[in-house]
Amino acid sequence: MNKDVDRQKSDHEQHAEASTGLRLLHTGDEEKRSEIIPLQLLPVDELVPLSQSLITPALARFFNLNVQHCPSRQQSFGNNAGRKSEQRLQFHYVEQLDQIRHLQEEDGAQNADLSEDFHVNQALDDLFRSQIIASGCGAVKDGDVARLAGTKRLQTDAELLNTFGALHASDGSSTHEHAVEEFGMTQSVLERENSSNSGDGATGSSGCGAGGSSGARTLKRPRLVWTPQLHKRFVDAVSQLGIKNAVPKTIMQLMNVEGLTRENVASHLQKYRLYLRRVQQGNPFSSCSNSSTTKSILTELEHTHHPNALMRVHISTAGTRPDTFFSSALDTRPSNITMTSNGHHSHVNSLNGLSGSVNHLLPQHIPSLLLQPVSHQLSQPMAMVKPPPPFNISQQFEPRLYGVKRVNSPPIRTSASASSDTHLLENMSVMNHAETHITATASSPPRRALTLFPH
């Protein structure tokens, strides 16, 4: 059961954990391989009381937020309750972030200031969500946040990111890099408690019990969250390898993401394959499209088996629930995408200011993987495959990604020549919400949750 956990714990992770000091406690069999001292929660006094806003007044003001307190949440901060508290703390963040988001949405482009700071806001949002929330690191101190918000507004995303990175690093003796790595691993919510404390199962997935008195707690590695970035890497890897060689291990290596385990990939791959299968059967974008639509698209792809094959697709992304990670990260509100991957127009009407590189995300890789025997690329399996640069999670928060100002009404026209990287999120966005209509103008897109692999 835990054998893999033990076996696959990467050296990197160990290192990161050791130096970060943020790692969740590991005990039991973990000790076999590492002299890492089980690290528990941060000292109670370092945690922000839940009765207190997790967003400093400065930050709140910065975002025009009206932060209320959540006294009711203030609970025992006992050692054993630490985890739970942390989680609540995270939720608290979520709420506040949502608040921010909503405010922004409502204000829309109206408010120039907000609009202008959108990228910062967005970055903040995502950072918080994906790092604090997803990573399960609830240890953000007031001072840090304050520093983050700064007396003066942050000028650049980079600054924000750096600050944030430092924030994490500040917790332990870890370096920024390590912190980033740690979180970059996108380990998310601390799952799974140990046997002992069934306690108040109300909240469901409780955190990993703090070391408490008796050890014997085997903490599991937090769930990996397949962020668009990660997924992109994944898809790229698979594409390069071709179905034939696309096995977990290889993919993992190609992805070159620190801390990513084979299991992670295997699991994802499994799902991905299911997705591909679905698509193959003529049901790519589950959502609306009737098979006919889908089919024609596929047919075209089939006939061309070239990424840039001609295909005219009208994509309309449905509204989404603003509370999933993806929706957060991708910010996919109703949008329309009309593209012609023929190398021509790519019009995007979206709040994101998506751009033309949309073609990139269409089931493009599918034909190469399924519809065609993946010829060219496969000739030199590993040799020619160029592993992308090591995945530094900070990439996930590439400033550029948030550099787009949000514009509500006017459709944004962008050249399709933009680097694909820049539009990673956008791509994923579409990918996730994609609903294809060869014709229509999907007026009332059904609301549905985001999925990496629409079904």
Q: What does the binding site for DNA look like in residue numbers (CB under 7 A)?
A: 1-5, 191-192, 220-226, 247-250, 262-264, 266-271, 273, 449-453, 455
Closer to DNA by Cβ: residue 48 or 424: 424
Closer to DNA by Cβ: residue 47 or 269: 269
Spatial contact of 284 and 275, defined as CB atoms under 8 Å apart: no
CA distance 192 to 209: 9
Q: What is the DSSP code (8-state) at residue 224?
A: B
Closer to DNA by Cβ: residue 156 or 196: 196
Q: Which two tokens stand for residue 100?
A: 């921010």
For tokens 């995303």, the residue is: 157
First to last CA, the chain: 31
Least distance (Å) between residue 140 CB and DNA: 23
Least distance (Å) between residue 286 CB and DNA: 7
Least distance (Å) between residue 6 CB and DNA: 10
The three-state secondary structure class of 187 is: strand
Closer to DNA by Cβ: residue 15 or 273: 273
β-bridge mates for residue 346, sequence order = 339
Q: What are phi and psi of 334, to 5 degrees?
A: -45, 130
CA distance 360 to 350: 17
Closest listed residue to residue 428, CA positions, set 374, 376, 362, 372: 362
CA distance 289 to 283: 8
Least distance (Å) between residue 269 CB and DNA: 6
Residues listed for the chain: 455
Least distance (Å) between residue 278 CB and DNA: 10
Closest listed residue to residue 187, CA positions, set 229, 227, 225, 228: 225
Least distance (Å) between residue 83 CB and DNA: 15
What is the Cα Rg of the chain in Å?
Answer: 22
Spatial contact of 184 and 259, defined as CB atoms under 8 Å apart: yes
Spatial contact of 232 and 424, defined as CB atoms under 8 Å apart: yes
Closer to DNA by Cβ: residue 25 or 100: 25
Closer to DNA by Cβ: residue 141 or 455: 455
CA distance 6 to 50: 34
For tokens 């992670």, the residue is: 264
Least distance (Å) between residue 344 CB and DNA: 31
Least distance (Å) between residue 432 CB and DNA: 8
Least distance (Å) between residue 341 CB and DNA: 24
Closer to DNA by Cβ: residue 192 or 400: 192
CA distance 385 to 242: 11
Closer to DNA by Cβ: residue 75 or 270: 270
Closer to DNA by Cβ: residue 2 or 291: 2
CA angle 148, 87, 11 (to 5 degrees): 80
